Chains A and B, each alone.
Chain A
Amino acid sequence: EAGVAQSPRYKIIEKRQSVAFWCNPISGHATLYWYQQILGQGPKLLIQFQNNGVVDDSQLPKDRFSAERLKGVDSTLKIQPAKLEDSAVYLCASSLVRGLQETQYFGPGTRLLVL
């Protein structure tokens, strides 16, 4: 079974530029998450999708971040315009919801550096 795919793996941009990340979840996984992981910290949830609907985006900085999951499969996360503090690893995860035992499977992440 193929895992969660993410691209690009690395991205360097200047502040005020735009950037987009792509995620392809495990086939059949209805739930998809985007996390931001700043160096030295645990992942912080940005947005959760159930199929193509947003379940939770309460921690997404909506003035600059946006995400979509058209057709309930692939997802993109966009930052426009980027700030220095957006430098982080952006992790995508997917899961089959099985009650409490909802194991999230993560992709390799995209490392973003904003200069």
Chain B
Amino acid sequence: AQKITQTQPGMFVQEKEAVTLDCTYDTSDPSYGLFWYKQPSSGEMIFLIYQGSYDQQNATEGRYSLNFQKARKSANLVISASQLGDSAMYFCAMREGSRDLRNQFYFGTGTSLTVIP
């Protein structure tokens, strides 16, 4: 089974509107972290927001918020007041708890967001 599923290959949003990018995850580990990254056409992956599995409140970072629904295993990214510069690929990722140093970091296939003026 896929560890991270992003079902929206492409999304469009009007400038200044809000948009939600979907992400579901699969893990049996009670300890995990969820991340969202933005990848503009330049190629660099930019860290946006983090949510821990034990965090009681949804994470927020400026115009980004993470709608964390643990029972449904979803971690949707909400971007408020979209800007033209938000046009990019967005990747959801998960790190499972690990007792050793090995990376257990999984990326989804990404969602391409286009902001329309």
Contacts and interface: CB of A to CB of B under 8 A. Distances in A.
Interface in B91-117: 91, 93, 95, 97, 101-103, 105, 107-110
Chain A interface helix/strand/loop/mixed: strand
Given A100-B52, A103-B50, A109-B43, A42 B103 contact: no
Contacts of B102: 48, 55-56
Given A91-B45, A106-B44, A100 B32 contact: yes
Contact of B47 (A42, A100, A103): A103
A72 interface: no
B50 A97 contact: no
Interface in B38-79: 42-47, 50, 52-53
A4 B83 CA distance: 26
Contacts of A80: none
A107 B5 CA distance: 24
Contacts of B50: 101, 103
B47 to A, nearest CB: 5
Nearest to B50: A101
Interface in A86-115: 89, 91, 93, 97, 100-109, 111
Interface residues of A, number: 27
A45 B105 contact: yes
Contacts of A31: 101
A100 B45 contact: no
Interface in A4-57: 31, 33, 40-45, 48, 50, 55-56
A46 to B, nearest CB: 11
A48 B103 contact: yes
Given A41-B109, A106-B45, A100 B97 contact: yes
Nearest to A111: B43
* Interchain residue pairs A-B with the least CB separation, the first 7: A42-B107, A106-B45, A100-B33, A109-B43, A108-B44, A48-B103, A56-B102
Interface of A: 31, 33, 40-45, 48, 50, 55-56, 89, 91, 93, 97, 100-109, 111
26 contacts: A33-B103, A33-B105, A42-B91, A42-B93, A42-B108, A42-B109, A42-B110, A44-B107, A48-B102, A48-B103, A55-B101, A55-B102, A55-B103, A56-B103, A93-B45, A100-B31, A100-B53, A101-B33, A101-B50, A101-B52, A106-B45, A106-B47, A108-B43, A108-B44, A109-B43, A109-B44
